[in-house]
Amino acid sequence: MRAARLTVLFMAVLTVLLLSGCFGSRETDETAYVLAIGFDKGEKDNMVVTVSIANTKVIAGASGGGGGGGAGGAGGAKEDGRNVLVQSVETYGPLTGLEQLSSVTGRHLSLLHTKAYIFSEELAKEGLADWVSTMSRYHELRATSYVFVCRGKAKDFLEKNQPPLELSPTKQYELIGSLSRAHGFYKNAMFLNFQQDVKSWSVEPSLPLVAIHEGGLETAKPGLKKGGGYDPGRYFAGELPVSGANKAQIMGTAVFRGSKMVGTINGEETRYYLMLRGEFENGFFNFVDPVIREPASIGFTVHQARSPKYVTSINEDGTVTIDVDIYLEADLSAMLKDINYENPDLKPIIEEAFSTHIQQGCQKLIKRTQEEFKADIFNFGYRLKHHFWTVQAWRDFNWLERYPEAQVNVTVHTRVRRSGLMLKTSPAKED
Amino acid sequence: MIREGKFGPAEAIVLLALSSLSRNFLSYPRLLVEIAGPAAWMTPFGGLVLVLVGIYLISLVLKKNPGHTIIETTEQAFGPFIGTAVNVLIVVSAFEMLGALFLREFSESMLTTTLRFAPISVIDFSFLAMGLLGAYLGIEALARTARLIYLYVLAGLFITFFSLIPFWNFYNLLPLFGKGLARDFLLGTYATAGISEVILAAVIVQAMGGVTYFTRIGYSSMLISFGILIMLLATLVLTYNWPVSEEFTLPFLRLSRTIYLGRFFQRPEAIFILIWTIIGALKISLMLYGAAVSLARSLKLPDYRPLIWPLGLAMFIIGLLPLDMPTTVNLDNIMRRVILIPNYLLPLLILAVYWLKGRRGRAGS
């Protein structure tokens, strides 16, 4: 009995000793959490890896009412109180870079909370397949992280990106996803989307564009009354004429063929791209007033009423015809001239004009992707797959090579459902 | 007389279904995606039919010798010398090898994902310790444990499947027949029909209430298990297209890490690892129990428990023999083919022997 009690006691003590920790355990104060990681082409080695590390000291201080994040330039967190610490290393690859940076920070760099992977345009043009594969293998990767292509250097973007309203830097990247639904100037892409598209035989990948805007309002392009365009999305990231606190911009889309970037489309074209994929949610559009026919525009708040209808056919010679019907619903949001478009008799005029406007934009973009990029970024391949019973037959058809020859016809159907808080427009008296 | 305890059909169904589910947590779904591509979800259908046929065949065998298990029936059919050899070389070895490979695979998976710097022997030993305890406590304790945890396991699985709906792309299931019907159904059947639970059920049949309930328990548990496998494969291919899915070492882990329902519901894989560990321990316990009980019955020993320690040690050592994880996975795939022998060939042979004996008897009379 005594021996049994002693054994139980011994086992209990042993359990306490054995359960006190595990091999390779890391406390949170031994780890530095990388919130965003950037990749640029290197001068002397393969690449420059830049990490944006959470500065827990500042974040904790700020959340406790002690101020913190916000102002300050790039560089160390301590001097300017930034909530992130940005560091770069010229290295062979992402994981090598992380190890090298660990030796400087004095902590293990963890990607468990990384929200954004940012590749420079230069690197993207060389191809990202190898790096995607490397990251995918890494046990700390989270496939729901966002991926971006940076016009200019990713290092500069991470150093100068200071979201003024966010205490936690990760929140900015998380909000980027939901904000895309509010205007459609970019398409949010997670790692898993890009990884799949790179390997798919049905679609080519695309990633949102980010950049740092240098300067202020001088990058503005001429507007409608100055002989220019009127769509708010006619810019790329970094060109948007905004002055103010944060210099980081997200607008437009990088187009890939395979894993290599082959071109870019701006914010306006990205909206057409989203509509053609059936992923456009909301956005404000300007278009030329069809009655006045002078530099005056009408503003619609538009959302995609339902998924587009795709009718695909493969002709005897192997060419493909795709008919896409896009269904939009609009709210009449802005008018610069006093015409009573709320009148049901006049409404079809603006609906027709807007449909034509979007239709032309879509057709123009499709032509660009066929002739300039030779890349189906619209998921048309997915709609064609049902013509094939097996993977081999689909592969033999080689859709991505055939895409430039495909005939794509777009028809847009617009219905103006509401007119805001005004049901009638009365003309103002002449001055 | 080995005392195994008794439990009801509900416990038995849950026990066999959970045991069979354990392969879903390892790299096995990847193999099925590699076989059939976008039609991976079709591969279990052929296997399910074959498994149901196998259960029916075994029930016919067990009816020839009511009150006994497949071990005694084999011996009765083939005679004491060949019968014992078949039992030890095929049934006991199959349980032992499968247990060892599961032990290694579960440990390797732990090393790959969470306990990255722990020595494999420590993790192996931890799993084995749970297996030893489970096997020592006996099949009744395991069955009642399974009954206790199955709701949590099923909830974990279904939460994972349905939380991924925002990521589903139904076009990933096209082309409909994947890599061809021959691969989907022939190779698919070959890859999915090899499960140890068919022969395990025949070994623990008396604890489950005898041959009367055998087919009902077998059919129900396999329908649950294969149903979940089909759902898992469909979810996997819907979430990640097949060229990406077939690359994953641990597809279920990848799925659970993909869950992202806004900023407030993400990273639920910690729950998954808990379920994974419980299922792993249950599976290893069952394999060890199956090996020990089969050996004890073959050798006519009064108790199986003294055999647990040497068999457990052998399992530990065999589990450490493969050089690396890919080799372990390959060996596991080979064992899935080997298990087809006790599941389907053995009952057919026994039935053939009984038929021949009956014919000879009729001719003699």
φ/ψ of residue A240, rounded to 5: -60, 125
Q: Is A327 on the interface with B (CB under 8 A)?
A: no
Are the beta carbons of B241 and A23 separated by less than 8 Å?
A: no
Q: Name the residue in chain B with its Cα closest to that of A143.
A: B258
User: Most B CBs within 10 Å: which of A30, A139, A204, A400, as the mutation test of the B interface?
Assistant: A139
pTM for the model: 0.90
Across the strands, what pairs with A220? none
Residue numbers in B near A181 (CB within 8 A)? none
The answer to whether the Cβ–Cβ distance between B266 and A144 falls below 8 Å is yes
Interchain CB distance below 8 Å, B240 and A388: no
CA dist., res. A243 & res. A267, Å (int): 19
H helix or E strand, kind and range, residue A261: strand A260-265
Please name every residue paired with A208 in a beta bridge, in sequence order, or none if there are none: A253
Locate the domains of chain A by residue range.
Answer: 29-265, 279-431
Residue in A340, A355, A332, A354 with CA at minimum distance from that of residue A416: A332
Terminus-to-terminus CA distance in chain A, angstroms? Answer: 109
Query: Which one-letter DSSP state was computed for residue A336?
Result: S
Q: Do A379 and B171 touch (CB under 8 A)?
A: yes
- Bridge partners of A210, per DSSP, are A150, A250
CB contact under 8 A, A24 and B117: yes
Distance from CA of A74 to the nearest CA of B (A): 28
- 8 Å CB contact of A389 and B177: yes
Instruction: Look at residue A73 in the predicted model and tell me its pLDDT.
Output: 41
CB atoms B113 and A139 under 8 Å = yes
Nearest-Cα residue of chain A relative to residue B126 = A18
Closest Cβ–Cβ partner in B37, B115, B258 for A144: B258
Pair B90, B340: CB distance under 8 Å:
no
Q: Which residues of chain B have pLDDT under 50?
A: none
**CA-to-CA dists, residue B213 to A25, A282, B56, B272, angstroms:** 48, 59, 12, 32
- Residue B42 Rama label (left phi>0; alpha psi -120 to 50; beta): alpha
- Write out residues 127-156 of B within 8 Å (CB-CB) of A: none
Give the C-alpha separation, A105 to B240, whole Å.
Answer: 36
What is the ipTM score, two decimals? 0.87
Distance from CA of B85 to the nearest CA of A (A): 41
Q: Rounded to whole angstroms, how far apart are CA atoms B365 and B361?
A: 6
Alpha helices in A258-374 (DSSP H): 267-277, 347-368
Q: Which residues of chain B make contact with A202, given a CB cutoff of 8 A?
A: 171
8 A C-beta contact, residue B29 and residue B251: yes
Looking at residue A149, its pLDDT comes to 95
Whether A192 contacts chain B with CB within 8 A: yes
CB-CB: which of A144, A196, A383 is closest to B240? A196
| Start-to-end CA span in chain B (Å) | 35
Tens place of pLDDT for every residue, chain A, 431 residues? Answer: 788 888 888 877 877 776 666 676 777 788 889 999 999 998 887 889 999 998 877 777 665 544 334 443 444 444 456 788 899 999 988 889 888 998 888 888 899 889 999 999 999 999 998 888 888 888 888 899 999 999 999 999 998 888 777 777 778 888 887 788 888 999 989 999 999 999 999 999 999 999 988 877 767 777 666 666 777 777 888 887 887 777 888 899 999 999 999 999 999 999 999 999 999 999 998 888 887 766 778 888 999 989 999 999 998 888 999 999 999 999 888 776 777 777 778 888 889 999 999 999 999 999 999 999 999 999 999 999 999 999 999 999 999 999 999 999 999 999 988 877 777 777 777 66
Chain A contact present for B8, CB below 8 A = no
State the burial class of residue A424 (Cβ atoms within 10 Å of its Cβ: 0-12, 13-18, 19+): exposed
Cβ separation of B176 and A389 shorter than 8 Å? yes
Q: B243 CA to chain A: closest CA distance, Å?
A: 6
**Chain B CB contacts of A143 below 8 Å:** 254, 257-258
- Would you state the CATH architecture of domain A279-431? 2-Layer Sandwich (3.30)
Integer Cα distance of B235 and B275 in angstroms? 18
CATH class of B9-356: mainly alpha
CB contact under 8 A, B243 and A199: yes
**Which of B169, B174, B180 has the CB atom closest to A386's CB atom?**
B174
The reply to whether B169 touches chain A by the CB within 8 Å rule is yes
The answer to whether A394 contacts chain B (CB < 8 Å) is yes
CA distance B159 to chain A (A): 18
Return residues 205-244 of A near B (CB < 8 Å).
Answer: none
**Of the partner residues A200, A389, A394, the one whose CB lies closest to the CB of residue B241:** A200
Question: Rounded to 5 degrees, what are φ and ψ at A382?
Answer: -60, -40
How do A297-314 and A146-151 pair as beta strands? unpaired
Cα–Cα distances (Å) from A161 to A52, A78, A190, A266, B237, in that order, read 10, 17, 20, 21, 37
| From A171, A195, A382, residue closest to B171, measured CB to CB | A382
CB contact under 8 A, A143 and B263: no
Contact list, B117 vs chain A (CB under 8 Å): 23-24
pLDDT for the residue numbered A94: 87
Contacts of B241 in chain A (CB under 8 A): 196, 199-200
Helix H or strand E segment including A97: helix A94-105
pLDDT for A20 = 60
- Placement of tokens 């101020």 in the chain: A67
Cβ of residue A195 closer than 8 Å to a chain B Cβ = yes
Determine contact: A279 vs chain B, CB below 8 A: no
Q: Which residues of B touch A171 (CB under 8 A)?
A: 263
Cβ–Cβ below 8 Å for A24 and B116? yes
Q: Is B263 on the interface with A (CB under 8 A)?
A: yes
Q: Do A394 and B175 touch (CB under 8 A)?
A: yes
Whether residue B176 lies within 8 A of chain A, CB to CB, comes out as yes
State whether residue B243 sits within 8 Å of chain A by CB.
Answer: yes
Nearest CB partner across the interface for B117, out of A23, A144, A392 = A23
Does an H or E element contain B80, and which? helix B80-86
Cβ–Cβ gap B122/A23 under 8 Å: yes
Domain residues of chain B, as ranges?
A: 9-356
**Nearest-neighbour CA in chain A from B141: distance (Å):** 23
- d(CA A145, CA B168) in angstroms, rounded, equals 17
Distance of CA A75 to the CA centre of its chain: 26
> Which residues are paired to A313 by β-bridges?
A321
A37, containing H or E segment: strand A31-41
Contacts of A324 (CB under 8 A, 6+ apart): A276, A308, A309, A310, A362, A408, A409, A410, A411
CB atoms < 10 A from the CB of B299, how many? 13
Chain B contacts in chain A segment 16-55 (CB below 8 A): 22-24
Question: Residue B65 phi/psi, 5° resolution?
Answer: -140, 65
Helix (H) or strand (E) holding A147: strand A146-151
How far is it between the farthest Cα atoms of chain A?
109
Chain A / chain B CB contacts < 8 angstroms? 71
